[in-house]
Chains A and B, each alone.
Chain A
């Protein structure tokens, strides 16, 4: 519970984040029993480097509390979509927070928006979409993979997202979004291997009043095909972006001082000065994917003659 909405105390059934350090977080469902490998019910105990945590004992605690364990302590945190993205079980490649943030922003999403997403994948983006359109908007998420759909459905239910998210099994490239999705969407998002094939279906799904489009693709060839298709289907303001986030560590270092004074002072030991600086990591992900955004104008300003597949000079 609680990915949409906020609460202060932990109840049975909640998903909580166990925070050990910035690089070690785990998402847990608070329930007294869990199934072991042999599908037998056992007490729900979570092992950490500081000792065992009896998960049931968290019930009634305040989110943000320090939990003492035999050999140290941890914090138990309210779940957020961002922490879920960091801790979720990967069933596919997922989209990470810097790209997710830009997607939410560029799709003009707000409470009440209706957004279509394909494919659901591991549901990383779906959580953030749901939080933004809550409480009276809706996320319709599609994936053609049966198992991913059913696992995602259970996950969304456990996380309290069911009122705002519907998952459906469907090949959106081949079959579109279905009759029931005609003229319902304020925004359409695609994270598919062949996104351009879904563009004509996106046109049908977007409201007569117009809407926004976004597609995430790792390869530039995918982007080119998608842009060509968008141009041929009346989309405007087509814009492709790439965003990378760089995280610094703040460090204090003592550096030897080199100056004229150092001359002939070898045995006296060199002077040192302390500096505080922000250090970028040595390596970081250099590419996630290209994000292509576009606007489908309202009917009254949509070009009628759509020269499909024909890319104009701009």
Chain B
């Protein structure tokens, strides 16, 4: 197997999973993170294979390290021991005094390094109501506690599925979704609607999705495929965390060609000429991002990492209900990335590159993918001319209204057929013997998709 890339390395973005919580973190010089209220030293994960399991061990008060452990030692769920249970809840009083242990005492136990099983046993012994709870209720309670106090941590290699999960939910403010509320089912349909083929050539515009769209498409691209990535003056190369986190091999990045929006405009207006266009290969711009991001995290002394919030929400929006990601945006980087871009402009290969762009635009694209926070209507109506006949476009919006309008406008045109506007509904299930039911919470929306097929009328 591809063993090199299966080993955790310095500077890697890693996904850390603890009980039900997952976070995305870049391994910079400062190797400690705050995760569910404890400060954990990550040094021990470097050099070990991805998917390894670790026991979280206390070094001193509030400070922990990771010890690799055998997966067999991890309990599948904490057990209540030989406790009795009630048959229904008639004797349970709903007061806040059910638990005799104070919050401070519980924290103290954690600080003393007691294991989850020990803490949970203490909680049971000090709970006035536990034995009155029915077996179901006891199990439910245990499951909740065991996830909260999980002593184990798994390090996972980022992939598109995990990134979409970790980047999607902003648990800090549940009503303010990241990634424009683009849920995984919607993302998965963007790819099928556009008939994404590994060797095809696709135009993509994404804004405010942390590079997840580009990363998803690039992941599905073969060395012969091409992504024409539309960039605008406000385009920010360093807000593409997903693209960096995927750690694609260099050759992959060669498939991404950044083209200024103005180039498309000029080409469309001036009878297919390309002058002063900007094109640069993604590997160059990406390299810069990678570096600058790493430096920023180091220079800021990991402060940002420490501030990264891990907020608990008792919802289960997906398998792992609570999803957070470390947040280290740096506005200074934006300017830096922009200057890289203008440097790129001055390259001596300009002529050849212009020719390349012209050819790319002459031979129309196999599809158009637009996922952005802006109102996409005018852009889509213009960009359709760059899509070949019998190929599709797909537009994502967080809002239905602009897509209704776009639907109407496109309906008037002769060159677009099979226009469809869809929305999805996605529900996840708790599956346990005799206790199977939909999860209590679900994402109420996953965004809207509009799609259609280009045709010719001659």
Contacts and interface: CB of A to CB of B under 8 A. Distances in A.
Interface string A292-314: 10000110111111000001111
Interface residues of A, dominant DSSP: mixed
Contacts of B160: 105, 108
B436 interface: yes
A97 B390 CA distance: 19
Contacts of B154: 301
B76 A248 contact: no
A238 B436 CA distance: 14
Interface string B239-269: 0000000000000000000000000000000
Nearest to A209: B1
Contact of B51 (A98, A250, A298): A298
A301 B142 CA distance: 25
A239 B428 contact: yes
A66 B454 CA distance: 11
A240 B188 contact: no
B432 A66 contact: no
Nearest to B2: A209
Contacts of A206: none
Interface size class for chain B? 35 or more
B152 to A, nearest CB: 11
Interface stretch (B89-97, B215-223, B229-237): B215-223
Interface residues of A, number: 75
A135 interface: yes
Interface residues of B, dominant DSSP: mixed
A247 B421 contact: yes
A222 to B, nearest CB: 11
Contacts of A77: 390, 453, 455
A215 to B, nearest CB: 12
B374 interface: no
B382 interface: no
A242 B76 contact: no
A4 interface: yes
Nearest to A65: B456
Contacts of A132: 198, 220
A301 B50 CA distance: 9
Contacts, number: 211
Contact of A66 (B52, B423, B457): B457
Interface stretch (B117-125, B351-359, B400-408): B400-408
| Interface hub of A98, A104, A290 (most chain B Cβ within 10 A) | A98
B431 A111 contact: no
Given A101-B185, A101-B192, A278-B404, A247 B1 contact: no
Given A6-B200, A62-B456, A303-B72, A278 B421 contact: yes
Interface stretch (A30-38, A146-154, A224-232): A224-232
Contact of A135 (B143, B199, B219, B423): B199
| Interface hub of B50, B146, B191, B429 (most chain A Cβ within 10 A) | B429
B6 to A, nearest CB: 7
A238 B189 CA distance: 22
Nearest to B71: A303
B195 A81 contact: yes
Contact of A19 (B49, B220, B417): B417
Interface of B: 1, 6, 49-53, 71-72, 74, 76-77, 79, 139, 142-143, 146, 154, 159-161, 184-185, 187-189, 191-193, 195, 197-200, 219-222, 318-319, 366, 388-392, 400, 404-405, 407-408, 411, 417-418, 420-429, 431-433, 436, 453-458
19 contacts: A19-B417, A22-B418, A63-B390, A77-B390, A77-B453, A108-B159, A134-B222, A223-B436, A239-B318, A239-B319, A241-B427, A243-B427, A245-B422, A245-B423, A246-B424, A247-B422, A278-B404, A303-B74, A312-B77
| Nearest 10 interchain pairs by C-beta | A64-B389, A64-B390, A312-B76, A313-B77, A105-B188, A63-B390, A101-B188, A240-B429, A239-B319, A78-B390
Given A210-B51, A242-B427, A246-B425, 16 more contacts: A6-B197, A8-B389, A19-B453, A78-B390, A101-B189, A102-B188, A106-B184, A111-B222, A240-B428, A241-B428, A242-B428, A247-B422, A278-B421, A290-B429, A292-B431, A314-B146
